[in-house]
Chain A
Amino acid sequence: DAMVIQNPRYQVTQFGKPVTLSCSQTLNHNVMYWYQQKSSQAPKLLFHYYDKDFNNEADTPDNFQSRRPNTSFCFLDIRSPGLGDAAMYLCATSRDGYEQYFGPGTRLTVT
């Protein structure tokens, strides 16, 4: 089945220790998104790639970076995680910006 895969599903990191979350997709979608979702809140878009074009949200902290080495993979790098970065990180994909399909998410804990 075509799908969006996120690894790891759970990640524990220490305050200030860099962490990388990964997303892969077999849907052959050209747009990939990263969202942050905290408890009882709406998903918050961090950035997205439309093909190779990177689009950062104005309020995304510089601490968050992303890479998309090819169509299938996208990475979220958090350079120096703070306690406030503990959240569920969601990867989503779409074809040309229409319906978005989410992966299972990565739950990040910062100690």
Chain B
Amino acid sequence: QKEVEQNSGPLSVPEGAIASLNCTYSDRGSQSFFWYRQYSGKSPELIMSIYSNGDKEDGRFTAQLNKASQYVSLLIRDSQPSDSATYLCAVTSTGGGNKLTFGTGTQLKVEL
């Protein structure tokens, strides 16, 4: 079974610090990787997509992908209380057409 694993947390970081969220996946053929932010009671919001090895930066967010290690991470710089949410890692499945496999998410708490 194709899996995406994340530490459920909560991950607590002080305001202004860097938050590091990690994700591993089992399907070696996966090609597309996404990070979603989900506030409690709300729907997932796409914040980053990454398709090739290396880093991709967008504002305070940096996604990192290492396909050889089957590992994708999200760094949030200058963390703010408004970043407190659950972060879902999602990976496309090979042979599955257009489907995403989600991890169960990491809860991030940014403390004042």
Write the residues of chain A forming the contact surface with B, with a CB cutoff of 8 angstroms: 31, 40-43, 45, 48, 50, 55, 88, 90, 94, 96-105, 107
Contacts and interface: CB of A to CB of B under 8 A. Distances in A.
A105 B39 CA distance: 12
Given A45-B99, A55-B97, A103 B104 contact: no
Nearest to B88: A42
Given A42-B88, A55-B97, A88-B43, 16 more contacts: A41-B104, A42-B102, A42-B103, A42-B105, A43-B88, A90-B44, A97-B92, A97-B97, A99-B49, A100-B34, A100-B90, A100-B100, A102-B44, A102-B45, A105-B42, A105-B43
Nearest to A94: B98
B42 A43 contact: no
Interface residues of B, number: 22
A97 B98 contact: yes
B69 to A, nearest CB: 22
A55 B98 CA distance: 10
